[in-house]
Structure formats: structure tokens, C-alpha cells
Amino acid sequence: MSEIHLKSLAHSYDKTASGSQVYALREMNHVWEQGGAYALLGPSGCGKSTLLNIISGLLTPSSGEVRFDGKVVNHLSPQERNIAQVFQFPVIYDSMTVFDNLAFPLRNMKMAEAKVISRVHDIANILELHPLLKRKARNLTADEKQKVSMGRGLVRDDVSAILFDEPLTVIDPQLKWKLRRKLKQIHEQFELTMIYVTHDQLEASTFADKIAVMYDGKIVQFGTPRELFENPKHTFVGYFIGSPGMNLFSVQRTEGGVRFADVSIPLETSKQKLLDDLPQTNIKIGIRPEFIHVWNKPTTDAFECQVQHIEDLGTYKILTLTLGEHTIKARLGEDHLPPEQVAYISFPEQWLKLYVDEYLVEDTMLDSDITITHGEQSITQKHISTEVNRHA
Amino acid sequence: MSLSLESVDSVVNGNLHLSQINLSLQPGSFNVLLGRTLAGKTSLMRMMAGLDRPTSGRVLMDGADVTGIPVQKRNISMVYQQFINYPNLTVRENIASPLRLAKTNAAEVEKRVLETADMLQITPFLDSYPLALSGGQQQRTAMARALVKDASVILFDEPLVNLDYKLREELRSELRELFKIRNAIAVYATTEPNEALALGGTTTLLHEGKIIQTGPSAQVYREPANVIAADLFSEPPINLISGQVKDNEVIFGESVHFPLNQDLRNLTNGGYQFGVRPSHIGLVPHNDDDLELSMKVELAEISGSETFLHLTSPQFNLVVQLSGVHAYHTDAAIKVYLPIHKLFVFNLDGDMVQSPFALVNA
């Protein structure tokens, strides 16, 4: 197990690179701690595969260092780095039995056969492959083959790290959660450093303790699933995490706050102070649909909006509202009777985020306050003026 | 133009693909076909298109029998899950191709191509070739080709399945907007309950080649006719618990008892299946008669803004859907609260005996 340190790392596929736009990876410093369960999350083209290939040793970075436990490994092959990888599609030997497939990486390193047998049985047990051990791999279903492929990645206990590249793509939807559980159990049991690459927020958030969100060649936030949801540090994280994503509006500075169109939004004094110290003009505010308060009647500090559309998704409703020229999405619980034409909305200060040049501006003192005050309840709690009686 | 199917059966190599399909689709309607893989969605669409002939039964357009009329002679477009475009034609010519085939005059072609490209936000790519575009742009091109001619029926066979979820979100709401102003019949096949709800319109549930239920999407979701409908139209799957009603008590499994009162008081003695939606179970009680259950966490799946808890107990398993991000260790002990008044009750044949939604409206 190793700590993986990326030091001033950058990569361009164009050797004569000069402008920053040709960089697939922009200069970054990042540490994957030993034994952590991590995900690398981003849309296609964000650079996550480039980064994965640099960590594994399939690709040499054009600048910077990759260090495993402090040692520079830039020019070491994947074998020399002792990295195990599980790919999107199963990589197994069809003509071998499941047992021999699992034993292959161990026999390769000349492990004593008795130890090979015990190790293979351990892994087969965890992945529920025991009944299949004597079967030829070619006769397995796609799910089973991928489990064997995972088993081959997990069977060695001496690897520096295990890298997963969208490993559940071929798995039947109904079985996916079971394999997600297996992976978590394996991580908890073996304390391996695991990095899981995916474009799917569910895969990333379920597997990882901490997620690196990549966008445009950069890691724009490295945080827990909860931090990504509740406190996105970059507008892209706000947009990409959650469904629908965060509402984001370009705003102008004004006395005591910001405004867009003819809507003035006051800011807390602390936020206002932070903003006053910054010269930039690219200012946005963001709030997640889940955190907007929706009222059916005029209320202090609430903005009047037109209701454009109500999407009934069964367990909740998505309201599409217009405020000035802006479209706003708000989410309401199943039992809440939505306003029909006019809605009044307010933005709780705690959940109204301020972004300058796309990055979150926050008071670190305030941040710790938030962590203390929000219980599980306040995340989901909605204030609504109409109480719905189920027998009404 | 209306489209109806009457008693349509399809048997292929001795396998029953469709059985006794009766459907009537009105102009301007948005119709979702919801079912698992191999439920018969694609077979049904092929019948509608005229790509396949039913083994028995009739297909009618505006009341006229078109059962034997091939796809070329029906005014139909289709969009598939694979991004199908002509690789050697520009996006402009791809979109124009159905119009050129119909010998539409050049000025009209140009006008319609621009309108359609604009609607699908691919105008900047009109002179590019499809393979130079992203998956989302390629599928927009395929959709534009289907929408550019005034087809009376437009069939979508899981068109968004190969796109990532952010693109799906966008294209889905665009599609819904597009069809608000068209008078065509849209038919949209999907395996995803949430997609059916998001698209709205009418949902037809297909299972093993048969229609299980048809109706306005949200209504079918709230009042499933039977266990199969409830299960098909629920993601994560609806929780089903076997239970008994005996001596004014409900018994789940063996050891969970609660009094038969309020909403359930009309149930007679005997065995039932009780259904509860994952989103209706909570971490705190909301009503005095909520049933407290002690369970163990198998896995907390987190979707970014929601958490799905997979729970287990010696009696039964449950899935709970929570808003927000909640981290749990595997095997952690947990108490959850099940609202009795939100229970669906099915008899042992799987038919609905009582739905919580019906009570609200009673």
C-alpha cells in the first residue's frame, strides 16, 4: 500500500505545447493517502483517463512528478509500480478455469502454491465465485467474467494501489449495488488504496470516502460526497452533482449584496466583506433546488416567481420557475402541494453560495459553523405555507 | 393521425413476443412504453412502424387498416439507442436526407433544416461530419433527422441510454418541450421509471409481451393495478413484505406485529403482500402509528443528492430512499420508520387491494 503524491503534475499530448489550452491535465498537486477509497469523477474529456494512465504508468507525464511513498516513479512501468487495474470490460483468459484466472497474478510472482490456493479461496469467497472456480471462464456470463476480472485485481495483497476504470459498465443494473457493496467490503477489510474512475455520480459517491471532481484538466474539488453536495467549491461541481444541478446566476455587485435583472439579493455581512476585497467581475450565486424555500403566499424576503412547469417525479416534484429573466429549479417533497401559477421563494443564507471566477468564496469561520449547525433534518427540511392533509 | 393496435400477437420462432396488444394513440400525445429489457418494447415499436407484421391482429391509422403496409409507405420516423447517422454526410445533409428523399424543394429543405437544427441546438455543427461530434451532438443529429419531416408517428427506442445523465436531463426536457407544439404521436421506450415520470404523458407498462397497465404517467405510478405494475414502476424497486392479517393484527414475517386499525381496518383475515415505496420510509417517525423497524445497513448508495439505503433484517430486506447525502458504514445498526398509511396492499395473486393514494382521494 502506498501514498500517491502528484507533484506539479501536468500533461499535454502535444510535445510542442505552449498555450494552456492544449494541456489535457493542467498543473496540479494532489495526494492520495495510503489506504483511502477514492473516486475520480468527471464528464468525458475532462482528463480523468489521462490522469489514471499517468498514475498507473501507462503514460509518462510531460511535466511534474508521480511519487509512491515519496519515491519518484515517473519512468516505472505498471508492473514495476505494482499497480493492479480493473477495466471497463473483463480481462481474463477464456481458456483457463476461474481458479487459474484468479491464481495467475500470484503464480506470476512465484508465490508458493499452498498460499496461492488459500488466497484464491479468500477472494472467491468474497466475490461469491466459489461455485464457479472449476468452470472455464469462456462459459461465464458477462457479470461473472467481470467479477473474475475484479478478483484478479484484488487477489494480490502486496499491490501499491488498485485502479478501477468504470468497472461496473457491463454489470446488469439489478446486480450493480451488490458489487458496489462487495467493493466497499473489500476496501474496509484490506485497507487498500483504491482509485475508482467514473463519470457516474452514484458510482463515485457510493464507493468513495473522498471524490476528486475533474473538469477541464483540473481537479476542481476534492471532498466527501456530502461536501460536494452541500458545499460545492466550483460551479461545475454544483452543476454536475445532483439532479437537477445547482441553480447558478451571473450577478452584478450592488450596495449590500448582488443583483441580477431587477432582483436584488442581499448578502450576509461576512460574504459581502469577502466580495468587497475581490476585484473580479465574474460573480455568480448558486443554490441547489433542494434548498430553495417555496411558499404559496407572499412572505417576507421571498421573491415572486412565475411557475413555468411542474414535473411530478413521484417521490418529489421539480418546479421550473422564472424570476426576472432567469429560470430556477426548485425541488418539493411528494406531499407538498405545489403553487400553481405564482410561487414565492427564498434562499436560506446557509445554502446561498457565492462564486467568483467560478470558485466558491467562503469564510472559513462560517464554514465550521455550518458543519455544526446542520443536522440531518435541516438538509431535507422544507418550509411551505400550505400544509397538506392526506385525508383532505 | 391516430394509431391503434387491435389484438396484436407476435410469435417469432415459436416464442411469443407480443400477446393481445390493444392500444389507441391519439395525435399530439406523448406515450411512454416502460418495461424491462425483452419486455416487448422494441417488438411493439416495430409493429407500429411497419418494420414487422403481426402474427395476428390489426394495425390501424386513422381507422384504416395498415397492417400489411411497409415502413416506407407509412409516415413514420424512428430514433434508436445507437447514434445512427450517415458518416459520409455533413450534419446538414444528414438532417436534410428525409426531405431530399421526399423531393422537397431546395428552399423549403434549407428552411426546415435550419429550424430543426436550431431547435436541437446543433446549428454550429451543420457543416461538421457526425463522427467528429460528441455522443450527445450525434444523437441530437439523429433526432433532428427524425423530427425534420412531418412524420405522423415518431418512435424513440431508448434514445438517451448511451448518454451520460447530465445530457439525458437536458435532452429529455427539450424533447418534452418539442412535443408540446407538434401534433404527431410520440412513442418513447425506456427501462427507467424515472424517465417515464420525467417525460409525463401516458405510460404503458409492458411485461413479458403483455400490457399490464396504461394511463397518465403519474397516475399509473401512484395507483399500480398490481404487484408487477408497482415493481416495474419503481426505482429503486418498491419494497414488498409478505404478511398476515389475523385477530385484528398485521404480522410481517414472524415477529413484527402491529394493530389493524385506521387505513387497514377493512382487510379481512389472510395472507397479503404489503408494498411500501423506498421514499416513504424515514429515519424519524412522522406519525404516531409509524412502525419502528430495527435493521442493519448493507450499503448506502449515494447518487449525489440522494441516498439509497439497502437494509436487512432476519425478517425482510428494505430499500430506503433519503434526500441528501447520508454516509453509513456497512453493517451499521439503524432504526427506520414505516408509515402504515402509505402501505400498498396486494392479495396473494398480486392484485391491488388497497392503495394509499386512493385513500387520499376518497
Q: Residue B315 pLDDT > 50, yes or no?
A: yes
A221 with A248, same domain? Answer: no
B303–A201 C-beta distance less than 8 A: yes
CA dist B186 to A239, B49, B99, B153, Å? 30, 12, 20, 6
By Cβ distance, the residue of B134, B304, B359 closest to A229 is B304
pLDDT at B136: 84
- Kindly identify which residue of chain A lies nearest to residue B331, measuring between CA atoms: A185
Q: Return the amino acid letter for A231.
A: N
CATH of domain B239-361: 2.40.50.140
Name every chain B residue with its beta carbon within 8 A of the beta carbon of A377: 284
pLDDT at B358: 63
- Kindly identify which residue of chain B lies nearest to residue A45, measuring between CA atoms: B134
Confidence of residue B236 (pLDDT cuts 50, 70, 90): confident
pLDDT at B173: 84
Q: Which of B215, B243, B236, B238 is nearest to B228 (CA)?
A: B238
A224 with A249, same domain? Answer: no
A188–B330 C-beta distance less than 8 A: yes
A144 with A11, same domain? Answer: yes
B284–A377 C-beta distance less than 8 A: yes
CATH number of the domain bearing residue A137 = 3.40.50.300
Which of A138-142, A260-264, A304-308, A375-379 is predicted with the least confidence, judged by mean pLDDT?
A: A375-379
Q: Residue A387 pLDDT > 60, yes or no?
A: no
What is the average per-residue pLDDT within B14-23?
95
> What range does the domain containing A314 cover?
244-380
Evaluate whether residue A388 is within a structural domain.
Answer: no
A181–B324 C-beta distance less than 8 A: no
A248 with A226, same domain? Answer: no
Contacts of A354 (CB under 8 A, 6+ apart): A258, A267, A271, A274, A275, A283, A284, A285, A286, A360, A361, A362
Looking at the complex, report in whole angstroms how far the Cα of residue A361 sits from the nearest Cα belonging to chain B. 22
Distance in angstroms (rounded) separating the CA atoms of residues A128 and A140: 14
Burial, B188: exposed, middle or buried (Cβ in 10 Å; 0-12, 13-18, 19+)? Answer: buried
A214 with A254, same domain? Answer: no
By Cβ distance, the residue of B302, B330, B360 closest to A202 is B302
What is the average per-residue pLDDT within B325-339?
93
> What does the pLDDT look like over A26-74, one tens digit per residue?
999 999 999 999 999 998 788 998 999 999 999 999 999 999 999 999 9
Distance in angstroms (rounded) separating the CA atoms of residues B217 and A145: 38
Burial, A14: exposed, middle or buried (Cβ in 10 Å; 0-12, 13-18, 19+)? Answer: exposed
Pairing mode of beta strands B153-157, B185-190? parallel
Q: Which residue in the block uniquely carries the three cell numbers 415505496?
A: B277
DSSP element (H, E) containing B293: strand B291-302
B302–A177 C-beta distance less than 8 A: no
CATH number of the domain bearing residue A286 = 2.40.50.140
pLDDT at B304: 86
Name every chain A residue with its beta carbon within 8 A of the beta carbon of B158: none
A129 with A196, same domain? Answer: yes
Evaluate whether residue A273 is within a structural domain.
Answer: yes
Name every chain B residue with its beta carbon within 8 A of the beta carbon of A391: 359-360
A130 with A259, same domain? Answer: no
Evaluate whether residue A391 is within a structural domain.
Answer: no
Averaged pLDDT score across all residues of chain A: 87
Q: Residue A371 pLDDT > 70, yes or no?
A: no
B325–A230 C-beta distance less than 8 A: yes
Interface mutation target, options B302, B308, B335, chain A, most CBs of A under 10 Å:
B302
By Cβ distance, the residue of A43, A205, A244 closest to B302 is A205
Q: Residue B237 pLDDT > 80, yes or no?
A: yes
Number of cross-chain residue pairs from A and B with Cβ atoms under 8 Å apart: 112
A210 with A81, same domain? Answer: yes
Looking at the complex, report in whole angstroms how far the Cα of residue A330 sits from the nearest Cα belonging to chain B. 13
What is this model's ipTM?
0.84
Looking at the complex, report in whole angstroms how far the Cα of residue A200 sits from the nearest Cα belonging to chain B. 8
Looking at the complex, report in whole angstroms how far the Cα of residue A37 sits from the nearest Cα belonging to chain B. 13
What is the average per-residue pLDDT within B298-309?
92
CATH architecture of the domain formed by B3-229: 3-Layer(aba) Sandwich (3.40)
Averaged pLDDT score across all residues of chain B: 92
What is the average per-residue pLDDT within A97-111?
94
DSSP element (H, E) containing B218: helix B217-222
A225 with A263, same domain? Answer: no
By Cβ distance, the residue of A242, A315, A391 closest to B321 is A315
A172 with A297, same domain? Answer: no
Q: Residue B238 pLDDT > 90, yes or no?
A: yes
Sheet of strand B76-79, all strands in order from the earlier edge strand to the far edge: B76-79, B153-157, B185-190, B30-34, B202-207, B210-216
Name every chain A residue with its beta carbon within 8 A of the beta carbon of B335: none
Confidence of residue A100 (pLDDT cuts 50, 70, 90): very high
Domain map (residue ranges) of chain B: 3-229, 239-361
By Cβ distance, the residue of A199, A245, A380 closest to B324 is A380
Looking at the complex, report in whole angstroms how far the Cα of residue A234 sits from the nearest Cα belonging to chain B. 15
Confidence of residue B18 (pLDDT cuts 50, 70, 90): very high
Evaluate whether residue A238 is within a structural domain.
Answer: no
> What does the pLDDT look like over A109-134, one tens digit per residue?
899 999 999 999 999 998 889 999 99
> What does the pLDDT look like over A209-258, one tens digit per residue?
999 999 999 999 999 999 999 999 999 999 999 989 999 999 999 988 89
pLDDT at A185: 84
Mean pLDDT is highest, among A163-167, B204-208, B231-235, for B204-208
**Interface list for chain B against chain A, based on CB atoms closer than 8 Å:** 134-135, 164-166, 169, 191, 193-194, 197-198, 200, 218, 221-222, 277-279, 283-284, 298-305, 308, 310, 321-327, 329-330, 341, 359-360
Distance in angstroms (rounded) separating the CA atoms of residues B318 and B309: 8
B277–A315 C-beta distance less than 8 A: yes
Looking at the complex, report in whole angstroms how far the Cα of residue A45 sits from the nearest Cα belonging to chain B. 10
pLDDT at A225: 96
Q: Residue A391 pLDDT > 50, yes or no?
A: no
Dihedral angle over CA of A296, A286, A260, A268, nearest 10 = 90
| Percent of chain A residues topping a pLDDT of 90 | 62
Distance in angstroms (rounded) separating the CA atoms of residues A2 and B164: 33
Q: Residue A21 pLDDT > 80, yes or no?
A: no
> What does the pLDDT look like over A247-257, one tens digit per residue?
999 999 998 88
Q: Residue A369 pLDDT > 50, yes or no?
A: no
pLDDT at A18: 61
Interface mutation target, options B137, B286, B303, chain A, most CBs of A under 10 Å:
B303
Evaluate whether residue A385 is within a structural domain.
Answer: no
Confidence of residue A364 (pLDDT cuts 50, 70, 90): low
State the angle between helix axes of A173-190 and A142-154 in degrees (0 to 180), rounded to the nearest 10.
Answer: 10
Q: How many CB atoms lie within 10 A of CB A366?
A: 14
Looking at the complex, report in whole angstroms how far the Cα of residue A202 sits from the nearest Cα belonging to chain B. 4
pLDDT at B359: 52
Q: Which three cell numbers stand for residue B11?
A: 410469435
A96 with A151, same domain? Answer: yes
Interface mutation target, options B281, B325, B335, chain A, most CBs of A under 10 Å:
B325
pLDDT at A383: 31
- Kindly identify which residue of chain A lies nearest to residue B300, measuring between CA atoms: A206
- CB distance B344 to B352 below 8 Å: yes
- Kindly identify which residue of chain A lies nearest to residue B305, measuring between CA atoms: A242
Looking at the complex, report in whole angstroms how far the Cα of residue A205 sits from the nearest Cα belonging to chain B. 5
Contacts of B214 (CB under 8 A, 6+ apart): B23, B202, B203, B204, B205, B220
DSSP states along A61-113: -SEEEEEETTEE-TT--HHHHTEEEE-SS----TTSBHHHHHHHHHHHTT--H
By Cβ distance, the residue of B193, B279, B299 closest to A180 is B299
pLDDT at A20: 55
A143 with A65, same domain? Answer: yes
> What does the pLDDT look like over A279-291, one tens digit per residue?
999 999 999 999 9
Q: Residue A163 pLDDT > 50, yes or no?
A: yes
> Is the alpha carbon torsion for B21, B27, B32, B38 positive or negative?
positive
Q: Which three cell numbers stand for residue B179?
A: 412535443
Evaluate whether residue A205 is within a structural domain.
Answer: yes
pLDDT at B87: 95
Distance in angstroms (rounded) separating the CA atoms of residues A331 and B93: 41
For residue A4, the cross-strand partners are A32, A68
> What does the pLDDT look like over B180-230, one tens digit per residue?
888 899 999 999 999 999 999 999 999 999 999 999 999 999 999 999 999
How many domains does chain A divide into?
A: 2
Confidence of residue B288 (pLDDT cuts 50, 70, 90): confident
Confidence of residue A389 (pLDDT cuts 50, 70, 90): very low
